[in-house]
Amino acid sequence: MSHQPTPWRKICVPIDFSQTSLTAFEHAVPVARQHGAELILLHVQRDPLQMAAEWTRPAMPASVADLQATLAGELERLKRRAIELGVSLVSTALVDDAQPYRGIVDFAETAAVDLIVMGTHGRTGLKHFLVGSVAEHVVRLATCPVLTVGERAAQAAHAVLPPGHSGLRCVDLMHRNVGFVHPYDNLQAVASKMADLEVRFVPVCDATGHVLGALTDRDVLAKVVANDRTASECRADELMSRDVPLCGPDDDVRDVARRMNQVHARRALVVSTEGVVLGVLSRSDIPPVLAG
């Protein structure tokens, strides 16, 4: 009888706001999304004076309360990002412990965490806590599996993947709730379609679903006003943008982001090999580490 592995239900990502912890966050998001798991963003608060000494942002908070509020705000920002990337359940946690590894291990056990995803190296220097040693302690003491993300992992990924590729595909991030309008539809119909779908962008396709261009809500408003015409007088094919970037579902996200940057596009249409629309990839969907 084959053994089916138990899916992850709770995934914890310790965040110290170093680059490796943020990279660990980026690795944990697709895992949580795939398993339908809760993603818990954990920050272990230490001695406020030590935290202040390690502060690298331009403006240091004026008090401990302000510092804690700032950290909570940063965790909320990451929480919103994870939700934008398709994780349905995301929570944050702040715990106090002079030893970060102990705070992580104790929290994971208390919260019944199934998997810890963390960076192996964070802030370094004589006055800074070595996150590498924290990861070693967590791996040794945690009662759940620990996935570590560090410099060697990044080098290994680059060795396996083609140069410039991330391993994340457009199909992993695209929005599938995509309607389209016809080129002969007037802009009143276009605006109605956007309202029905609660979107601000809609592709213009022919009768077979092949892409001809796209319209945004700004196009609908600005171009009608600029041409001094009513929405019912303007057809979609008169005002649509024809240079919308196209990509395939298996195209690498980093490569598509680079192409979007070259033409200053905020969105790309994901199409099949036949040119039929499958989804929309927005710049806000792309992890910052890949967006360029």
State pLDDT tens for residues 58-110: 444 455 666 677 778 888 888 988 888 889 899 999 898 878 899 999 999 99
Q: pLDDT-derived band of residue 17, with 50, 70 and 90 as boundaries?
A: confident
pLDDT tens for 162-173 read: 445 555 678 877
C-alpha distance from residue 226 to each of 58, 186, 217, 222 (Å): 43, 16, 14, 6
Per-residue DSSP letters for the chain?
Answer: -PPPPPPPSEEEEE--SSHHHHHHHHHHHHHHHHHT-EEEEEEEE--HHHHHHH--SSS--SSHHHHHHHHHHHHHHHHHHHHHTT-SEEEEEEEE-SSHHHHHHHHHHHTT-SEEEEES--S-STTS--HHHHHHHHHHH-SS-EEEE-HHHHHHHHHHSPTT--S-BHHHH-B-----B-TT-BHHHHHHHHHHHT-SEEEEE-TT-BEEEEEEHHHHHHHHHHTT--GGG-BHHHH-BS---EE-TTSBHHHHHHHHHHTT-SEEEEE-TTSBEEEEEEGGGS-HHHH-
Question: Regarding predicted confidence, which is higher, 105 or 224?
Answer: 105
* pLDDT higher than 50, residue 156: no
% of the chain exceeding 90 in pLDDT: 18
Enumerate the domain spans of the chain: 10-159, 170-291
Superfamily, domain 170-291:
CBS-domain (3.10.580.10)
Mean pLDDT over each residue of the chain, to the nearest integer: 78
Q: Which residue has the higher pLDDT, 96 or 152?
A: 96
The dihedral through the CA atoms of 12, 147, 124, 136 has a sign that is positive
Q: Is the pLDDT of residue 181 over 80?
A: yes
**Does residue 128 carry a pLDDT above 60?**
no
pLDDT tens digits along 231-263: 677 888 888 888 889 999 888 888 898 899 988
Q: How confident is the model at residue 157 (pLDDT cuts 50, 70, 90)?
A: very low
Query: 89: buried, middle or exposed (CB in 10 Å: 19+, 13-18, 0-12)?
Result: middle
Provide the pLDDT for residue 129: 41
Domain 10-159 sits in CATH 1.10.3720.10: no
pLDDT on residue 13: 96
Q: Identify any residues that bridge with 89 across adjacent strands, giving them in sequence order.
A: 38
- On whether the CB atoms of residues 75 and 95 are closer than 8 A, the answer is no
Residue 161 pLDDT > 50? no
Burial class (CB in 10 A: 0-12, 13-18, 19+), 128: middle
Higher pLDDT, 225 or 105: 105
Q: Residue 204: pLDDT above 50?
A: yes
Q: Taking the model in full, what pTM does it have?
A: 0.50
Mean pLDDT is highest, among 30-44, 103-117, 139-153, 243-257, for 103-117
190 band by pLDDT with thresholds 50, 70 and 90: confident
pLDDT, position 166: 52
